Amino acid sequence: MTTIIPDKKKVERAIKWIDSGLKEGKDIEQLLREVGMHFNLGPKDEQFLYDFYKKENKSR
Query: Is pLDDT larger for residue 59 or for residue 49?
Result: 49
Q: Which one has a higher pLDDT value, 2 or 17?
A: 17
Contacts of 14 (CB under 8 A, 6+ apart): 35, 38, 39, 41, 45, 49
Q: What is the pLDDT of residue 1?
A: 47
Model pTM score: 0.81
Contact 53, 18 (CB under 8 A): yes
Distance CA 29, CA 27 (A): 5
pLDDT band at 54 (very low <50, low <70, confident <90, very high): confident
Chain segment 12-42, per-residue pLDDT in tens: 999 999 999 999 999 999 999 999 999 999 9
Distance (Å, rounded) from C-alpha 49 to C-alpha 10?
11
HSE of 57, CA atoms in CB hemisphere, 13 A: 12
